[in-house]
Structure 1
Amino acid sequence: MDLPLMPPVAPMLAKAVPALPEGELSFEPKWDGFRSIIFRDGDEVEIGSRNGKPLTRYFPELVEALKRNLPPRCVLDGEVVLVAGDRLDFDALQQRIHPAASRVKLLAGQTPASFVAFDLLALDGEDFTGRPFAERRGALERALAASGAPVHVTAATRDRDTAERWFNQFEGAGLDGIVAKALDSVYQPDKRTMFKVKHQRTADCVLAGYRVHTSGPDRVGSLLLGLYDGEGVLASVGVVGAFPMQRRKELFKELQPLVTDFADHPWAWDRQEDGTRTPRNAEGSRWSGTKDLSFVPLRPERVLEVKYDHMEGPRFRHTTQFVRWRPDRDPRSCTYAQLEEPVGYDLADVLGAGR
């Protein structure tokens, strides 16, 4: 492989802001997948990742699609996503990372991935990273003008009102928010020079346990959250874990009176065969590696309010943020019914908006 930019290249990043910024900007949907830098030099293709490790072996079907749809020599920034029906499916995308070649081949046929391009870093023998984004975007559209599914060019608009509408509509297709890029900005790897606006909501959750912090057994690492489903079963929905070190110590002391035995807890290990969604079977995956997923069970008597962006199936997609304790709430009232459901939106329309 002989390109103006050689792997690995760290992607340019975005910093979170509370609202869409003003100015000479281009707005794009924020895709929920694996951020990837694609390198192609003839028959050689590498799918780079944010951490620098290639993802190429996990997506053989995408490698072939990139050969069919990309210019012979180019470097693109974008997102590997998985489309299930009319929306994105990040959980299914995670399952594509598997050590067994036979499993990789099977999943490539069952759940093929797509690539959404949103920046052009190099074309033929030219490095485009020093050019303004407006020029890079135009070159990207021309370079992929003849491409087809599963390779797409992301939608983009310079109209802030349109971006506001996308922010509300596209979530129904599984997208994550809006990214804004200055039209005169150059590409800066590993620098937070873009802006991102994500959905923020709150939910009242049951505190059902905690994990100890890696720095010591007398400090709380994360709080385990639960919500009651329609049958009255307490389901594991996520965690909240960003606390100052002193607060971790205080929480440990505060929660000791609630510590209980697993036999009296709704997430008892001996109930796993009944299908109860416990933190271990809800979160254990190849991504966890050797991470200790055990937890200290607490009587489900306290309620806390957390901020979250969106759901991935029955769980919060990302780690939540602590807002406050809710002593006025009955834990049994903390159900899935309180969660705001985005209006459904056909992902095909989102992908088509890039043309």
Structure 2
Amino acid sequence: MDAARADARRTAGPALPDGWAAEVKWDGWRALLSWDVGHLVLRSRRGADLVPGFPELRSGAVQLPDGTALDGEVVVWESGRLAFERLQGRLQRRGAGAARLAEQWPAHYVVFDLLRLEGTDTTTWPYRRPRAAPERLFAEQQLTAPWALCPSTTDPATVREWLTSWTTVGVEGVVYKRL
């Protein structure tokens, strides 16, 4: 699986540059996901196999079309806030222990990039096209939990709202991607 697109960047300030879109930066674990012929691969940035610790993502993968690869963030919510601490310890849990944690604090996979759709590599598409593809994927497949689509905007007022209101629930900031 390919890593994130090279068209995202850090900026010194919160102003949304012209020709860029903003997406929420989540407080979770970045993970690449691949679903092929009923087999789920879910790997952290460092290559750790996350599947055994997240049975809720494994069972939810049947909602995805075959030949799909995604880039996103594994997050857990607790009491209306992102709970990064609930992710810790999931790597060491297997079987019944992982299932108990999944029931108590279910993880969600927030999709912010579509890398492959039904076997077609989408990593060379300009931002607007792969952004429309996961939106269409969510609509056509009627994806539900554990899947969530990362919000995107080109509206500076929305970016300001995310940076003020959403940080209280544990959102880390925003990421800008070239349109």
TM-score (norm 2): 0.90
Task: For residue 67 of structure 1, report the CA deviation from its aligned partner.
Answer: 1.6
State how 1:52-71 maps to structure 2 within 5 Å.
52-68=47-63, 70-71=64-65
- Between the aligned partners of 1:147 and 1:100, the Cα distance in structure 2 is 26
Alpha-carbon distance, 1:96 to partner = 1.6
Give the aligned CA root-mean-square deviation in angstroms: 1.7
Q: 1:44 aligns with which of 31, 36, 39?
A: 39
Amino acid in the other structure paired with 1:61: E
Describe the SS at the equivalent of 1:45. Answer: strand
Offset at residue 47 of structure 1 (A):
0.8
Aligned to 1:222: none
Letter in structure 2 aligned against 1:51: R
- Map of 1:148-159 to 2, 5 A cutoff? 148-159=144-155
The answer as to whether partners of 1:73 and 1:124 remain within 8 angstroms in 2 is yes
1:68-107 Cα offsets, whole Å, 9 max, x none, are 2x22221111110001121110011113221554422321
1:178 Cα deviation from its structure 2 partner: 0.8
In the alignment, is residue 130 of structure 1 matched against residue 119 of structure 2? no
2:72 is matched with 78
CA distance in 2, matches of 1:91, 1:99: 14
Does the 8 A contact of 1:62 with 1:112 survive in 2? Answer: no
Counterpart contact for 1:31–1:175, Cα < 8 Å: yes
Task: Map 1:104-183 to 2 at 5 A.
Answer: 104-145=98-139, 146-183=142-179
Larger Rg: 1
Deviations 1:246-304 (A, max 9, x none): xxxxxxxxxxxxxxxxxxxxxxxxxxxxxxxxxxxxxxxxxxxxxxxxxxxxxxxxxxx
2:52 and 2:91 in contact (8 A); partners too:
no
Identity of aligned residues (%): 35
Task: Please tell me the residue identity of whatever aligns with 1:180.
Answer: Y
- The one-letter code matched in structure 2 to 1:106 is R
Higher relative contact order (CA 8 A, sep 6+): 2
Q: Which runs of 5+ in 2 are unaligned?
A: none
Asked if the contact 2:30–2:45 (Cα under 8 Å) also holds between the matched residues in 1, the reply is yes
Structure 1 position 143, deviation (Å): 0.9
Query: Which amino acid letter does the alignment assign opposite residue 162 of structure 1?
Result: T
TM-aligned CA distance change 1:33 to 1:123, over 3 Å: same
Retained in 2: the 8 A contact 1:29–1:170? no
Q: Which residue does the alignment assign to 1:22?
A: 17
| Separation in structure 1 between the aligned mates of residue 145 and residue 98 of structure 2, nearest angstrom | 21
Give the distance between the partners of 1:92 and 1:179, measured in 2 at CA.
24
Offset, 1:48: 1.6
How many pairs align?
175
